[in-house]
Amino acid sequence: DAGVTQSPTHLIKTRGQQVTLRCSPKSGHDTVSWYQQALGQGPQFIFQYYEEEERQRGNFPDRFSGHQFPNYSSELNVNALWLGDSALYLCASSRDLDEQFFGPGTRLTVL
């Protein structure tokens, strides 16, 4: 049984560009949450998707947007990248409100 998968593993962008990160949830899971983890910090909640809708959002600007597809996979989009967006982006999946299981993350570097 494959766990949560994320792509790409690493990504380098320049300031002002846009990026799309992808996540496939664990089999049987219908909820996807996205977190940003800066170096040496705990993960910070960005938003959560359930039934293709954003169910809850953390304290992140509108530059951060997402989508969930009918097969429960999800995308995180970040527009107008700036240096402070450099971080490990984590996707977690769950069965509705149950325990969240994290993927390996996408390391985004903004130059």
Residues at the site binding other proteins, with contacts judged by CB under 8 A? 4, 31, 33, 35, 40-45, 48, 50, 55-56, 58, 90, 92, 94, 97-105
Tell me whether residue 78 or residue 90 sits nearer to other proteins (CB atom).
90
For residue 15, the minimal CB distance to other proteins (Å) is 25
Residues 6 or more apart from 68 whose CB is under 8 A from it?
Answer: 32, 49, 50, 51, 52, 53, 74
Tell me whether residue 62 or residue 99 sits nearer to other proteins (CB atom).
99
For residue 16, the minimal CB distance to other proteins (Å) is 28
Q: Are 40 and 61 in contact (CB under 8 A)?
A: no
- Distance CA(96)–CA(6), nearest Å, equals 20
